[in-house]
């Protein structure tokens, strides 16, 4: 599937010519000189023209509004890709009204029920703008709720996966590792990875009330090892000071089976919430992308209609088409389109900013016909 298309309109200017005869000439020229370029008719309906001044005013608004509509389309697409990646699923084919996006564009049919052609153009454009703006606002709220749950999980995971010097230790310690009685207590010592021999040979000497051979290694990461040590409760403070002097850190820790169970339940609930919200948001994004892309193509049809009248005059007499030339074929296809508009000094020649629909970065090209670029990605 191509991801970059041109939407163009050519003037029907020769005496006795029709859009159908011009379409035949275009098909013939493309098949003879650029046969690998996909070509499709882009069906723009007879819309309500209004006044020339209203078309001029609307033309300026169309350029700005298109950037917004296209931007929302791309935002939703990126959100879909992120959600599919987070779920570990392959990216599916995005559809609009049940067909792939490229098929919707190349077989575009105006939705008369949604956008009556007799409505003023400004009203149609306003309807598209407000509809897309509402979808964007809705997406911000839904995405924020989903990202909040993800942030909570990330914060918990950071606590569980950081350095032993700072991370939560509760999931590394079992009830049998800890001794707590009227006189005895078990402490947790963080020992630099390459000082473990020093710890094992010296911890019993840090205080006379340390239980001999009571130290056991529970866990080791890239920097530190986690050891238990049991001693009399009355010398805990002195032991901590002596341990710190030797470069060992004693972490404050109190084992609680209730806290452990509560943490597990919180994690399970957050994971379930995250997956449920991811699935719901993904389904909403699929539907909303279809809605926004459809609106965008109707928007493009309005722009082709308005720009063609402003370029070629009244009554409306033009042929609109969709092409997907390869990079190496672009120059040849441009030449074909210019030939069908007459000579290089055509009265239709005008500076056209392709960024109006493309969002390609502001390069201005001159063509004697209306031309917009559509980027799906």
User: Between these two residues, 255 and 338, which has the higher pLDDT value?
Assistant: 338
Mean pLDDT of 311-323: 93
Confidence of residue 349 (pLDDT cuts 50, 70, 90): low
Percentage above 90 pLDDT, the chain:
68
How many Å separate Cα 223 from the centre of its chain? 37
Q: Looking at the structure, do residues 159 and 286 belong to the same domain, yes or no?
A: yes
Q: Looking at the structure, do residues 160 and 266 belong to the same domain, yes or no?
A: yes
Q: Is residue 189 part of a domain?
A: yes
What is the reported pLDDT for 254?
Answer: 81
pLDDT at 354 over 80: no
Q: How many helices (H) and strands (E) does the chain have?
A: 9, 12
Q: Looking at the structure, do residues 188 and 246 belong to the same domain, yes or no?
A: yes
What is the reported pLDDT for 356?
Answer: 39
Q: Looking at the structure, do residues 139 and 185 belong to the same domain, yes or no?
A: no
What is the reported pLDDT for 1?
Answer: 62
Phi, psi of 98, rounded to the nearest 5 degrees = 85, 0
Specify the CATH number for the domain of residue 334: 3.30.70.2750
The residues, any chain, with a CB within 8 Å of residue 125's CB and separated by 6 or more, are: 58, 61, 62, 65, 299, 302
Is the full-model pTM beyond 0.85? Answer: no
Last residue of a domain, one of 210, 237, 254: 254
What is the reported pLDDT for 348?
Answer: 54
Counting other chains too, the contacts that 68-72 makes at CB distance below 8 Å and 24 or more residues apart are: 68/129, 68/132, 68/133, 69/128, 69/129, 69/132, 69/292, 69/295, 69/296, 69/299, 70/296, 70/357, 70/359, 70/375, 71/359, 72/132, 72/135, 72/136, 72/139, 72/292
Q: Looking at the structure, do residues 248 and 198 belong to the same domain, yes or no?
A: yes
- pLDDT tens, position by position, 95-113: 999 999 999 999 999 999 9
Beta-strand runs (E) in 13-84: 39-41
Q: Is residue 105 part of a domain?
A: no
Specify the CATH number for the domain of residue 231: 3.30.70.100
Q: What is the mean pLDDT of the chain?
A: 89
Q: Looking at the structure, do residues 203 and 323 belong to the same domain, yes or no?
A: no
DSSP label of 203: G
Q: Looking at the structure, do residues 212 and 198 belong to the same domain, yes or no?
A: yes
Mean pLDDT of 197-206: 95
Q: Looking at the structure, do residues 284 and 306 belong to the same domain, yes or no?
A: yes
Q: Looking at the structure, do residues 321 and 307 belong to the same domain, yes or no?
A: no
Q: Looking at the structure, do residues 125 and 244 belong to the same domain, yes or no?
A: no
Confidence of residue 343 (pLDDT cuts 50, 70, 90): low
Last residue of a domain, one of 254, 275, 299: 254
- pLDDT tens, position by position, 13-45: 878 889 999 999 999 999 999 999 999 999 999
Residue 294, classified by CB atoms within 10 Å of its CB into exposed (0-12), middle (13-18) or buried (19+), is buried
Question: Degrees (nearest 5) of the Cα angle 53, 54, 60?
Answer: 95
What is the reported pLDDT for 329?
Answer: 93
Question: Degrees (nearest 5) of the Cα angle 359, 361, 367?
Answer: 80
Residues 188 and 272: their CA atoms lie apart, in Å, by: 33
Confidence of residue 357 (pLDDT cuts 50, 70, 90): very low
Q: Looking at the structure, do residues 9 and 82 belong to the same domain, yes or no?
A: no
How many domains does one find in the chain? 3
What is the reported pLDDT for 346?
Answer: 52
Q: Is residue 375 part of a domain?
A: no
User: Between these two residues, 312 and 364, which has the higher pLDDT value?
Assistant: 312
Q: Is residue 285 part of a domain?
A: yes
Specify the CATH number for the domain of residue 269: 1.20.1460.10
Q: Looking at the structure, do residues 92 and 199 belong to the same domain, yes or no?
A: no
Q: Is residue 355 part of a domain?
A: no
Question: Degrees (nearest 5) of the Cα angle 17, 20, 23?
Answer: 100
| Residue span of the structural domain in which 82 resides | 49-96+114-164+257-312
pLDDT at 265 over 90: no
What is the reported pLDDT for 247?
Answer: 95
Residues 123 and 136: their CA atoms lie apart, in Å, by: 20
- pLDDT tens, position by position, 283-310: 999 999 999 999 999 999 999 999 999 9
Last residue of a domain, one of 254, 279, 294: 254
Mean pLDDT of 172-177: 89
Q: Is residue 209 part of a domain?
A: yes
Q: Is residue 62 part of a domain?
A: yes
What is the reported pLDDT for 342?
Answer: 72
The residues, any chain, with a CB within 8 Å of residue 270's CB and separated by 6 or more, are: 149, 152, 153, 156
Q: Is residue 107 part of a domain?
A: no
What is the reported pLDDT for 123?
Answer: 95
pLDDT at 364 over 50: no
């Amino acid at each position: 599937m191509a991801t970059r298309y041109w939407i163009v309109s050519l003037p029907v200017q020769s005496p006795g010519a029709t859009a159908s005869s011009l379409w035949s000439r275009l098909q013939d020229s493309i098949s003879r000189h650029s046969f690998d370029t996909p070509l499709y008719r882009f069906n723009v309906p007879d819309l309500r023209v209004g006044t020339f001044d209203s078309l001029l005013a609307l033309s300026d608004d169309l350029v700005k509004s298109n950037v917004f509509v296209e931007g929302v389309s791309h935002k939703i697409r990126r959100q879909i890709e992120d959600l599919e990646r987070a779920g570990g699923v392959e990216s599916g084919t995005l559809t609009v009204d049940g067909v792939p996006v490229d098929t919707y564009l190349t077989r575009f049919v105006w939705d008369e029920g949604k956008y009556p052609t007799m409505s003023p153009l400004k009203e149609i454009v306003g309807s598209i703008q407000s509809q897309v703006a509402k979808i964007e606002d809705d997406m911000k709220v839904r995405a924020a709720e989903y990202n909040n749950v993800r942030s909570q999980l990330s914060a918990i995971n950071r606590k569980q996966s950081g350095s032993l010097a700072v991370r939560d230790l509760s999931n590394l310690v079992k009830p049998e590792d800890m001794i707590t009685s009227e006189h005895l207590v078990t402490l947790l010592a963080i020992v630099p990875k390459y000082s473990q021999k020093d710890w094992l040979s010296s911890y019993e000497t840090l205080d006379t009330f340390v239980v001999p051979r009571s130290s056991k290694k529970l866990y080791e990461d890239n920097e530190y090892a986690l050891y238990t040590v049991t001693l009399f409760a009355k010398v805990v403070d002195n032991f901590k000071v002596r341990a710190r002097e030797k470069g060992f850190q004693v972490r404050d820790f109190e084992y609680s089976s209730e806290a452990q169970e509560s943490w597990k339940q919180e994690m399970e609930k957050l994971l379930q919430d995250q997956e449920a919200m991811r699935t719901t948001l993904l389904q909403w994004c699929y539907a909303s992308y279809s809605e926004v892309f459809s609106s965008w193509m109707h928007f493009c049809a309005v722009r082709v209609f308005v720009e063609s009248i402003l370029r070629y005059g009244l009554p409306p007499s033009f042929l609109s088409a969709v092409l997907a030339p390869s990079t190496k074929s672009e120059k040849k296809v441009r030449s074909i389109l210019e030939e069908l508009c007459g000579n290089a000094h055509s009265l239709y020649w005008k500076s056209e900013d392709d960024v109006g629909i493309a969002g390609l970065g502001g390069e201005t090209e001159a063509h004697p016909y209306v031309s917009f670029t559509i980027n799906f990605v």
